Structure 1
Amino acid sequence: MYESLLWPVLVMLLYATFIQVPLLHLREALRDYRFLLAIVVGNFLVLPLLVAALLPMLPADPALRLGMALVLLVPCTDWFITFTQLGGGNTPRAIAVTPINLLLQLVLLPLYLWLLMGDGLTGVFDVATLIPAVLIVAIPLALALPCERWFESSHARGRIRERLAVLPVPLLALVVLLIAAAQAAHVYEAAGTLLQSVIPVCILYLLLAALAARFIASLMKLPVDQGRTLAFSFGTRNSFVVLPFALTLPDGWRIAAVVIVVQSLVELLGMIFYLWWIPRRLFREPS
Structure 2
Amino acid sequence: MECIEKIEPILIFSSIILGLLFSNIAFISDNSSILINFFLFLMLLGVFLEIPLNDLKNGFKNFKFTKTSILINFIFTPIFGYFLGSIFLYNHLDIWIGFVMLILTPCTDWYLLFTKIAKGNLSLSLSILPINLILQVILLPIYLILFFSSSNTINLSDLGFSLFILIILPFLLSIIIKFLFKNKISIKNKIDSFFSKSQVIFLSLAIFIIFSSEANVLFENVSSIFLIFIPLIIFFIVIFILDYIVSKKVSFSYDEYASLTLTTLARNSPLALAIAINSFPHRELIIIALVIGPLIELPVLYIISKGLLKIKRPY
What's the TM-score once normalised by structure 2's chain length?
Answer: 0.81
* Residue equivalent to 1:28: 58
Q: Select 1:173's aligned residue among 196, 204, 225.
A: 204
The CA deviation at 1:67 is: 0.9
Alpha carbons of structure 1 residues 146 and 285: separation in structure 2 relative to 1, 3 Å: farther
Kindly indicate whether the alpha-carbon contact (under 8 Å) linking 1:90 and 1:226 is maintained by their aligned counterparts in 2.
yes
* Residue equivalent to 1:277: 307
Runs of 4+ with deviation above 3 angstroms: 146-160
**What SS does structure 2 have at the residue aligned with 1:285?**
coil
The CA deviation at 1:2 is: 2.7
Q: Which amino acid aligns with 2:244?
A: R
* Residue equivalent to 1:104: 135
What RMSD in Å do the two structures reach over aligned CA positions?
A: 2.3
Structure 1, 172-181 or 96-105: larger mean CA deviation? 172-181
Per-residue CA shift, 1:49-77, capped at 9, x if unaligned? 32022112124122111111111111111
* Residue equivalent to 2:288: 258
1:81 and 2:112 are equivalent in the alignment: yes
> What are the equivalent positions in structure 2 for 1:1-287 lying under 5 Å apart?
1-55=31-85, 56-120=87-151, 122=152, 124-128=154-158, 130-148=160-178, 156=186, 159-160=189-190, 161-162=192-193, 164-195=195-226, 197-248=227-278, 249-251=280-282, 253-281=283-311, 284-286=312-314
Determine the C-alpha separation between the residues in 2 that align with 1:111 and 1:239: 17
Per-residue CA shift, 1:19-61, capped at 9, x if unaligned? 2211111111111111111111110112123202211212412
Determine the C-alpha separation between the residues in 2 that align with 1:150 and 1:269: 40
Kindly indicate whether the alpha-carbon contact (under 8 Å) linking 2:84 and 2:231 is maintained by their aligned counterparts in 1.
yes
The CA deviation at 1:98 is: 0.7
Q: Which amino acid aligns with 1:54?
A: L
Alpha carbons of structure 1 residues 193 and 21: separation in structure 2 relative to 1, 3 Å: same
Alpha carbons of structure 1 residues 165 and 151: separation in structure 2 relative to 1, 3 Å: farther
> Structure 1: which 5+ runs fail to align?
none
Per-residue CA shift, 1:235-263, capped at 9, x if unaligned? 11111222133222142x32101111011
What's the TM-score once normalised by structure 1's chain length?
Answer: 0.89
Q: Which amino acid aligns with 2:32?
A: Y
Alpha carbons of structure 1 residues 162 and 211: separation in structure 2 relative to 1, 3 Å: farther
**What SS does structure 1 have at the residue aligned with 2:259?**
helix
Determine the C-alpha separation between the residues in 2 that align with 1:178 and 1:83: 28
Q: Which amino acid aligns with 2:205?
A: L
Per-residue CA shift, 1:148-207, capped at 9, x if unaligned? 467775764675335642322222222221111122122112101123x11222222222
Identity %: 21
**What SS does structure 1 have at the residue aligned with 2:197?**
coil
Kindly indicate whether the alpha-carbon contact (under 8 Å) linking 1:231 and 1:278 is maintained by their aligned counterparts in 2.
no
